[in-house]
């Protein structure tokens, strides 16, 4: 990015956001795997500012706690929210005068692109302005501050909607609330902002007219896409912003060679990584730090969180949490992979299978109707249908180890702690409580006995008895 590095970015995020009607502070609501304020921090980081400051106030402990995940962020507390100008004044009282360019943004405009901020900084520097405001022409400017320009187009002032005359309200160029300031001039002017307005607040917007009246250059940079400056004030806007951000993310993956069959029903978080020629089928959500390798197919109907899918693997109708799926492996349809699942290359976790803390070796298969918990399975093993790894004794969890090329019969209960040796078998329907040595066949079930003629004697006249009678008479 060619824009000059700002001395500081200040993110205003102290407001309550009452219209969200939520117990969660506004800036901590999430879209595309990041909080609103998190998106702003990322956009700011792209500019490589010398300092990154976030103003917190409402629910400050929670917001500060969240921000501690960003070591380059300094939180400054604004105890009472007396306006945007007040917020900036408090910052400068805390950290002192900042020499150089100071960029001010809000914590609730996650659609703002780093490149738009860079454009603002370039304009600010090339025009030699004391302040440059980011503006946009919007279809409905109701509620926003209006940009009042002179006949020559110069920015004269910003007038808040509540303080505007009918003529000023007709202006469709709005104040986005994003500005680049000369730091020293800002520090001086922000002290002189009055509260003589309809809301009795210190308006940051007044800094523009103060600087202009003192003969400094005041400019504007018009955003080409007004959607970028839309803020989030309620849950409908939250959903709108999520849709737009998701569209951007999905679009970028497609441009990078990922096949996305149905962009409208595919939701991808900002930090997900997909390789070219991965295929994402409809109704799929990829969250957190999930990754999908080339040639892999995910979906339809998958929800993956922090999950890694190897190249050429196939994952259908599955919920996967912190799982690793090996190259060429197959998962689902209808599988639940819980944290600690690691499926080896060409392995299989099939239909109605749940796994947790399970390391399943190369080429091993758990095809049907099973629970695999707290297990290590070697290579080339087969776990028969409806096998349960009985890992919980009601108090503690225990581990099961299954060796290479073992064959666990269908409907086996493997009662942990347990070790099944390499190449060992278990008979279908067994309850295995003791270790099985390599190569042995373990049988642990009742021996079968047939009570001849029982149905004909005890269920006389039923269709079963009649069928049996016919079969016996036919000599079969
Ligand atoms: C502000 C602008 C308005 C602009 C609009 C764009 C002023 C006076 N007005 O109006 O021209 O069109 O944004 O959205 O600046 N905040 C604090 N501390 C405070 C007050 C606000 O941190 O004391 C934060 C809020 O959390 C919010 C942002 O600043 O993220 C904007 O505050 P808000 O009260 O929503 O300003 P608007 O009235 O929308
Ligand atoms: Ca607002």
Spell out where 152-302 has E strands. 155-159, 173-182, 218-222, 259-260, 266-268, 273-274, 279-280, 284-287, 291-292, 297-298
Q: Which residues of 341-380 are buried (b: 16+ CB within 10 A; e: fewer)?
A: bbbbbbbbbbbbbbbbbbbbbbbbbbbbbbbbbbbbbbbb
Q: Which of 18, 84, 198 to mutate to test the pocket of ligand 1 (most atoms within 8 A of CB)?
A: 84
Measure the CA–CA gap between 411 and 408, rounded to whole angstroms: 9
The ligand placed nearest to the CA atom of residue 171 is 1
Catalytic residue among 368, 398, 399, 405: 368
Name the residue with tokens 């079963």.
464
Residue nearest to atom 11 of ligand 1 (CA): 145
The DSSP result for 156-167, as a single string, is: EEEE-GGG--HH
Q: Which long-range contacts (CB under 8 A, 24 or more apart) does 292-298 make?
A: 293/327
CA of 139 to the centre of ligand 2 (A): 17
The ligand placed nearest to the CA atom of residue 143 is 1
Tokens of 403: 């060796």
- Greatest alpha-carbon span in the chain: 115
Measure the CA–CA gap between 204 and 194, rounded to whole angstroms: 10
CA distances, 99 to each of 10, 172, 185, 240, 283 (Å): 14, 34, 9, 38, 50
The DSSP result for 24-40, as a single string, is: S-GGG-EETTEEHHHHH
CA distances, 289 to each of 235, 270, 292 (Å): 25, 9, 10
Is the distance from the beta carbon of residue 179 to the nearest atom of ligand 1 less than 6 Å?
no
Question: Length of the chain, please?
Answer: 476
Supply the DSSP symbol for 68: T
CB half-sphere exposure, 404, CA atoms < 13 A:
2
Is the distance from the beta carbon of residue 284 to the nearest atom of ligand 1 less than 6 Å?
no
Contact between 158 and 145 (Cβ < 8 Å): yes
Name the residue with tokens 């009795």.
200
Measure the CA–CA gap between 196 and 24, rounded to whole angstroms: 32
CA angle 56, 185, 81 (to 5 degrees): 25
Measure the CA–CA gap between 337 and 308, rounded to whole angstroms: 12
Helix boundaries (H) for 100-198: 114-126, 166-169, 183-190
Q: In a 3-state reduction of DSSP, which class is residue 202? A: coil
Contact between 90 and 78 (Cβ < 8 Å): yes
> Is 86 assigned a catalytic role?
no
Measure the CA–CA gap between 136 and 231, rounded to whole angstroms: 13
For residue 389, the model assigns a pLDDT of: 98
Give the residues of the chain that fall short of pLDDT 50: none
Q: Which of 77, 147, 177, 205 to mutate to test the pocket of ligand 1 (most atoms within 8 A of CB)?
A: 177
Sign of the torsion angle spanned by Cα atoms 231, 52, 136, 219: positive
Q: In a 3-state reduction of DSSP, which class is residue 301? A: coil
Atom of ligand 1 nearest to the CA of 13: 26
For residue 476, the model assigns a pLDDT of: 63
Tokens of 345: 């290359």
List beta partners, residue 38: none
Nearest of 274, 281, 256, 257 to residue 310 by alpha carbon: 274
Spell out where 348-475 has E strands. 348-351, 353-360, 365-368, 371-377, 382-383, 388-390, 400-402, 407-408, 413-415, 418-420, 425-426, 431-432, 441-442
Q: Which domains does the chain have, with CATH numbers?
A: 8-229 (3.90.550.10), 257-442 (2.160.10.10)
């Amino acid at each position: 990015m060619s824009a000059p590095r700002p001395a500081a970015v200040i993110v205003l995020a102290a407001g309550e956001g009452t219209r969200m009607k939520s117990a969660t502070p506004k800036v901590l609501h999430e879209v595309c795997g990041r909080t609103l304020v998190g998106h702003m921090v990322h956009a700011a980081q792209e500019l490589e500012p010398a300092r990154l400051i976030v103003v917190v106030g409402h629910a400050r402990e929670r917001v500060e706690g969240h921000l501690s995940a960003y070591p380059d962020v300094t939180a400054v507390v604004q105890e009472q929210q007396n306006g945007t100008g007040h917020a900036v004044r408090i910052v400068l009282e805390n950290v002192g005068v900042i020499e150089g360019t100071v960029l001010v943004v809000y914590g609730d405009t996650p659609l703002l692109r780093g490149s738009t901020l860079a454009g603002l900084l370039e304009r600010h520097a090339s025009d030699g302005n004391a302040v440059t405001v980011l503006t946009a022409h919007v279809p409905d400017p109701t509620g926003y501050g209006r940009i009042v320009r002179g006949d020559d187009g110069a920015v004269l002032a910003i007038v808040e909607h509540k303080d505007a005359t009918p003529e000023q309200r007709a202006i469709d160029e709005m104040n986005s609330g994003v500005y680049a300031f000369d730091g020293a001039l800002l520090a001086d002017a922000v002290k002189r902002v009055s509260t003589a307005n309809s809301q009795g607040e210190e308006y940051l917007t007044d800094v523009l007219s103060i600087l202009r009246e003192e003969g400094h250059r005041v400019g504007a940079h018009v955003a080409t896409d007004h959607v970028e400056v839309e803020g989030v004030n309620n849950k409908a806007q939250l959903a709108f912003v999520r849709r737009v951000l998701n569209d951007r993310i999905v679009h970028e993956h497609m441009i990078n060679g990922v096949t996305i069959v149905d962009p409208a029903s595919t939701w991808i978080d900002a930090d997900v990584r997909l390789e070219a020629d991965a295929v994402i089928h409809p109704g799929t959500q990829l969250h957190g730090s999930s990754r999908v390798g080339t040639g892999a197919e995910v979906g339809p109907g998958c929800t993956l969180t922090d999950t890694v899918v190897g190249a050429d693997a196939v994952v259908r109708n599955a919920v996967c949490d912190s799982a690793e799926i090996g190259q060429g492996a197959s998962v689902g349809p209808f599988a639940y992979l819980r944290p600690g699942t690691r499926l080896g290359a060409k392995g299989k976790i099939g239909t109605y299978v749940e796994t947790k803390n399970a390391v399943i070796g190369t080429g091993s298969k758990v095809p049907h109707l099973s629970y695999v918990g707290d297990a290590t399975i070697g290579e080339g093993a087969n776990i028969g249908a409806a096998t349960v790894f009985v890992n919980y004794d009601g108090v503690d969890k225990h581990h099961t180890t299954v060796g290479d090329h073992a064959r666990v019969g269908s409907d086996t209960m493997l009662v942990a702690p347990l070790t099944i040796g390499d190449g060992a078998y278990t008979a279908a329907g067994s309850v295995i409580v003791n270790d099985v040595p390599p190569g042995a066949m373990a049988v642990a079930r009742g021996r079968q006995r047939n009570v001849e003629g029982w149905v004909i004697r005890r269920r006389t006249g039923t269709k079963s008895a009649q069928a049996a009678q016919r079969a016996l008479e036919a000599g079969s």
